[in-house]
Amino acid sequence: MIQILEKYSNACGVSGHEDEIRSRIEESVRDHVESLSRDFMGNLYAFKPCGRQNAPHLLLVAHMDEIGLMINGVESNGMLRFVPVGGVDSRLLVSKRVILGKDRVPGVIGAKPIHLQSRDEWKSPIPLSALYIDIGASDDKEAAAKVPPGTTGTFHTRFETQEDVVFGKAFDDRAGCALITELLMTEEDEAYPVDITAVFTVQEEVGLRGASVLAERVRPDFTIAFEGTTAGDVPRDDYASPSTEMRKGPAISFMDRSAIGAPRLINHFKATADKKKIPFQMKKTVSGGTDIGVIHTKGGIPSMVISVPVRYIHAPRGILAVEDYKNTFRLAKAALMNFKEVL
Amino acid sequence: MKTEDMLKALTEAPGISGAEDDVAHLLRNYFARLADEASIDKFQNVIGVKKGRTSGGKLMMAAHIDQIGFIVKTFDKGGFIRLAAVGGHDPRVLPGQSVVIYGQEQVRGIIGTTPPHLQKPGDTAKVTSLDDLYVDTGLEEEALKRKVRIGDPILFDNVCTRLQGGLYAAAAMDNRAGVLVLLETLKILEKMTHDWDIYMVGTVQEEVGTRGAAMTAYKISPDVGIAIDVTFGDFPGIPERDTAKLGKGGAVAVGPNFHPALTEKLMQVAEEWEVPFQKEFNPRPGGTDAVSMQIAAKGIPMVQVSIPLRYMHTTVETLDLKDIKRSARLLALFSAHIEQAHREVVG
C-alpha cells in the first residue's frame, strides 16, 4: 500500500507546475472513478458516485503541489539565481542537490568552503542572495538554454523504506493524495453510501489558491481534507507540547488559522476510531492553514482535516511511520463506510 | 575501468578518517590491476608500487583516502543521535542532510530541522550549532540501539551526480579526486617507460592532521614526493586570485612547502607537452599531505598538484573530470622525467 505514496513522493509538482504529479494521480485513479476532469487552474476532479438517490455528497481534498524554488535569473558564469516557492527555510537549501524543470536537469546548491570564511562568518545563515544553483553550465547562454528562467525545481530526493518508517520528499501533501487515491480504489462490493468527489488541488503552498475555486464547482455537503502535517516529537529546547507525534495514529485538527473543524465530523471520526480500536490523536498546535479554510465558507460547508504526522515537512526529506499512514486510511475508510451516522 | 565509473565507486565508498577500510579495499583492488604490487598497511594506508626500469630512486605520490564525517556521540531520549565532528564542518551545511550511520548495519537518518510552521519569529536568522543538531533515523530507541553504538561513523548519504559539461558533484570528492588521479596516472604509465620505482599511496587521516602521509613517507622514504589533493574552485563571492578555474587543468602549488626548482621542472614538463595547468599560491605549509611529507624521515623534496573543486567540505563538491585527466597526464610525464629532473636540481 506504500507503492502509491512512493510514486507520488518521487513525482515533481512545485506550486503552479503540477503537471507531473497530476499525471501520476490520473494514472492511479482513472480505473476507479466514473469521471476525471480538470479546471483551468489545474485542479484534478475525480467523481465516484454511489448510485443512490439523494446520497450526501462528500468532497475529499488533498493538495498536489509542493514547495520548491523558481529560477529567476542567470549569471554570466552560468550560475542560476532563484527564489523560493512556498514556505522554504533558505537555511535548508545550502549544500543540496536539486532537479529542475520537466527534464529534471540536475543541479547543486553549493557554499563557500569553511576554509575561506572569515572567523565569524559561519555564525550567520547564508542569505539567499549568496546562494546559486550550479548545473555545470559554462556560461549564461548554455544555462538558459537548459533551464530558462521561470523553470521550477525541487529537492533531488529518493523515496526509501527503513523498517517501519519511510523517507521521502513532499509528504506534505502527497501523503494526502495517496490516501485519497487508496480510498477511491475500493472493490465493487464495498461501495460507500455517499457520492464522492475527490479533488487534488494546485497552489496550496502559495495561499490555498486552487482550493479557492472548487467549492462553487463541486457544491459538496461536507469536506474532508487529508494532510501530511508537522510531527514535533523531536529534541527541541522549548520541548513542551509537540504538534503531533509519530506512531500515535492519525491527527485530527480541531482548529488552525484558516478554519475550525466541524464538530459533527470530528465526533464521527472519534467515535469510529473508538469503535474500530484505531489509535488517533488531536493535533496540538493551531498554526498554519489548509484548503478547507477557503472551502468551508463557500455557503457554509462543514469540514475537517485529518493528517498523517510527518517529521521535517518542507525539508529535503521527511519521515513518516507506515502504521500512521495505514491507520489514517483505516479510520477514514471506516468513517466513510458508516457515514450515515453523521446525518 | 572507465574513469567515470571509478569516480562514482570511489566517492560512494565510505571512509571516514580513522575507519577507511571500505575505500582502502576498493583502492587496493584497483592498484592490483594497474600496478606491480598492492598492499594495505595496519593503518589502512594503501600502497601500489609500479617498478621502474632501473629502480634507481623512489617517487611517492600521495592522495588521501579519508573523508570528513561524524561519529555517534550520545543518544537522546526518544532515539535521537548527537554528533561529534570528524574534520572541518560548516554547521550551516548540515540541517536537512541525509546521512548513513555505519553501525551493525547501515542505518539511514536525517539531520533534523524545525519546519517553518513550528518556528518562532527570528529563528531563521540563527545558525544551529553542531551541539544542538541531531540525527533522526525514525526508528524507536530500542530498535536503534540494537543497530547503532556510540563511536559508530556517520557519513553524508552520497550520490555522485553528473552535471552538464563533464562536471560531477558528490561528497568526498575531497579527496577521491586525488585518488583517481593516482589511478589515471598508472593507466598512462602502462604505456610509458620510467626509471624510478613509483609508489602510489592512498593515505589515511589527512582530515585530522595528515597522519597517514607522515607514516607512509617515513616508511617509504622516497627521493621525491608529490601530494595530490583538491583546491578551491571558482565561486561567486570568492576573489578570483584565491581560486582555480574548473576545466583549466590541475593547479601546481607554489610556496615554502614545495621544492622550488622541482616545481619549476614540473611546470616546464607541462609547457613542453602542452598540458594545461594553473598555479596556486600557498604562503605557508598546511592543509595537505605535503605538510607532513616534506619533513618526514630525512626530509623529502615535494611538489603538489591540486584538482579545482567548488564547494569544498559540502555534500555537493563539484569538479571537472578534464582536470583529473590532465593532471594524470602531467604526472605521468613528470614521472618519466623524474630521474633527470632530480639529478639536475636536487642532486
Q: What are the pLDDT digits (tens) for B53-94? A: 999 999 999 999 999 999 999 999 889 999 999 999 999 999
pLDDT band (50, 70, 90) for residue A242: confident
Residues A279 and A187 in one domain: yes
Q: What is the pLDDT of residue A237?
A: 62
Q: At A130, which CATH number? A: 2.40.30.40
What's the N-to-C CA distance of chain B in angstroms?
Answer: 38
Q: Domain check: are A328 and A270 in the same one?
A: yes
The one-letter amino acid at B203? T
Which residues are CB-neighbours of B255 under 8 A, at least 6 positions away? B281, B282, B283, B284, B285
Average pLDDT, chain A: 94
Do A74 and A58 share a structural domain?
no
Rounded to whole angstroms, the Cα distance separating B347 from B337 reads 14
> Does B238 contact chain A (CB < 8 Å)?
yes
Contact B81, B94 (CB under 8 A): no
Q: Is B7 in contact with B180 (CB distance < 8 Å)?
A: yes
Partners of residue A97 in chain B, C-beta under 8 Å: 159, 161, 169, 315-316
Distance CA(A266)–CA(A292), nearest Å, equals 14
Residues A304 and A229 in one domain: yes
Question: Taking CB atoms and an 8 Å limit, are A92 and B113 in contact across chains?
Answer: yes
Spatial CB neighbours of B129, under 8 Å, sequence gap ≥ 6: B91
CB within 8 Å: A116 and B232: yes
The per-residue pLDDT for range B209-232, each reduced to its tens digit, is 999 999 999 999 999 999 999 999
Cell of A129: 542572495
Plot region of B255 (φ>0 → left; ψ -120 to 50 → alpha; else → beta): left
Inform me whether the C-beta atom of residue B310 falls under 8 Å from chain A C-beta atoms.
Answer: yes
Q: With an 8 Å Cβ cutoff, are A110 and B108 in contact?
A: no
Please answer yes or no on whether B89 and A96 come within 8 Å at the CB atom: no
pLDDT at B290: 97
In a domain, A325, yes or no: yes
DSSP 3-state of B41: coil
Phi first, then psi: give them for residue B122, nearest 5 degrees: 95, -15
Cell of B118: 513550528
Q: Does B261 touch chain A (CB under 8 A)?
A: no
Tell me which of A114, A115, A233, A325 to substitute to probe the interface with B (most B C-beta atoms closer than 10 Å).
A114
Please report whether residue A258 resides in a domain: yes
- At residue A238, the pLDDT reads 63
Dihedral sign for Cα A197, A202, A204, A208, please: negative
Question: Grid coordinates representing A207?
Answer: 495561499
Q: Does one domain contain both A123 and A196?
A: no
Return the exposure string of A87-116: e unless at least 16 CB atoms fall within 10 Å of the residue's CB, then b.
Answer: bbbbbbbbbbbbbbbeeebbbbbbbbbbee
Give a yes or no: residue A187 inside a domain: yes
SS3 state at B242 = helix
Residue A163 lies in a domain: no
Residues A106 and A138 both lie in one domain: yes
**Are the Cβ atoms of B117 and A167 closer than 8 angstroms?**
no
| Same-domain check for residues A58 and A202 | yes
Asked if residues B203 and B213 have their Cβ atoms less than 8 Å apart, the reply is yes
| Residue B87 Rama label (left phi>0; alpha psi -120 to 50; beta) | left
Report yes or no on A57 lying in a domain.
yes
Please indicate, yes or no, whether residues A94 and A59 belong to a single structural domain of this protein. no
User: How close, in Å, is residue B91 to chain A by CA atoms?
Assistant: 7
pTM: 0.93
- Residue after which a domain boundary falls, among A96, A126, A155: A155
Closest CB to A125: pick one of B118, B125, B237.
Answer: B125
Q: What does the alpha-carbon distance between residue B334 and residue B60 come to, in Å, rounded to a whole number?
A: 12
Domain end position, chosen among A120, A155, A190: A155
Which chain B residues are within 8 Å of A137, Cβ to Cβ?
Answer: 164-165
Measured CA to CA, the distance from residue B108 to residue A93 in angstroms comes to 20
Of B78, B117, B169, the CB nearest to A287: B117
In a domain? residue A86: yes
Contact B110 A156 (CB under 8 A): no
Domain count of chain A? 2
Domain extents in chain B: 3-67+171-345, 70-156
Q: What percent of chain B shows pLDDT beyond 90?
A: 91
Q: Which three cell numbers stand for residue A180?
A: 485519497
Name the residue among A89, A135, A237 with its Cβ closest to that of B163. A135
Q: How far is A217 from chain B (nearest CA, A)?
A: 30
Catalytic residue selected from A18, A66, A182, A204: A204
Contact (CB<8Å) A234/B136: yes
Which residue numbers of B are catalytic? 206
| CATH for A253 | 3.40.630.10
C-alpha cell at B202: 592512498
Do A179 and A87 belong to one domain?
no
* Shortest CA gap B220–chain A (Å): 31
Say whether residue B70 is in contact with chain A using an 8 A CB cutoff: no
Query: Does residue A95 share a domain with residue A150?
Result: yes
Cell numbers found for residue A217: 464547482
The nearest alpha carbon in chain B to A284 belongs to B118
Supply the pLDDT for residue B117. Answer: 84
Q: Is the pLDDT of residue A240 over 60?
A: no
Residues A182 and A283 in one domain: yes
Nearest to B95 among A92, A116, A288 (CB): A92
Question: Is B18 an interface residue toward A (CB < 8 Å)?
Answer: no
- pLDDT confidence bin for A25, thresholds 50/70/90: very high
Domain covering B3-67+171-345, topology = Aminopeptidase (3.40.630)
For residues B304 and B227, the answer to whether their CB atoms sit within 8 Å is yes
Three cell numbers written together for B157: 548519504
Give A187's pLDDT tier (boundaries 50, 70, 90).
Answer: confident
Q: Do B138 and A311 touch (CB under 8 A)?
A: yes
The span from the CA of B1 to the CA of A144, in Å, is 34
In the listed set A127, A155, A183, which residue is the last one of a domain according to the structure?
A155
Q: Which domain holds residue A124?
A: 68-155
% of chain B at pLDDT higher than 70: 100
**Shared domain check, A87 and A56:** no
Residue B141, chain A, CB below 8 Å: the answer is no
Confidence class of residue A186 from pLDDT cuts 50, 70 and 90? Answer: confident
Tell me the CATH architecture of domain B70-156.
Answer: Beta Barrel (2.40)
ipTM of the complex: 0.91
Q: What is the pLDDT of residue A239?
A: 56
- The residue ranges of chain B whose pLDDT is under 70 are none
Give the type of residue at A27: E
Angle made by CA atoms B68, B73, B79, in degrees to the nearest 5: 115
Question: Tell me: the pLDDT tens digits for A247-290?
Answer: 999 999 999 999 999 999 999 999 999 999 999 999 998 888 99
**Residue A184 burial (CB count, 10 A):** 19
Shortest distance, CA B161 to any CA of chain A (angstroms): 8
